[in-house]
Amino acid sequence: MIEKKILKKGQVVIPKDIRDLLGLHEGDKVFLDIEQDTIKIRKDQDIITELKALAKRHDKRLTIEDIKGSLKERYGA
């Protein structure tokens, strides 16, 4: 876990190691999600890229249930 202080204008710096790991660059969009007392930050990427990454993480072909779950996680409802 990495600890960061909130700056004067409410800003938090994403450490370079994490930016490099996620391929984030100046001007990229990120999304902030709130779940109870947790803030999640994720990079903006199109759904096809996200689904390919999901398949790679699980080392399998995606089922319709996998796709529905990913869409629900990303877009809610």
Model pLDDT, residue 76: 67
In a shared domain, residues 58 and 68: yes
Model pLDDT, residue 14: 92
Model pLDDT, residue 13: 93
> Of the candidates 42, 1, 48, 3, which has an alpha carbon nearest to the alpha carbon of residue 22?
42
Model pLDDT, residue 22: 82
Which residue type sits at 37?
A: D
Structural domain tally of the chain? 2
* 18, 25 Cβ separation under 8 angstroms: no
In a shared domain, residues 25 and 50: no
Q: Is 76 left (phi over 0), alpha (psi -120 to 50) or beta?
A: left
In a shared domain, residues 39 and 2: yes
In a shared domain, residues 54 and 75: yes
Range of the domain at 59: 45-77
Model pLDDT, residue 11: 93
pLDDT of the chain, 77 residues: tens digit per residue: 889 999 999 999 999 998 888 888 888 888 888 888 998 888 877 777 777 777 777 777 777 787 788 777 767 65
Element (H, E) at 43: strand 38-43
In a shared domain, residues 52 and 33: no
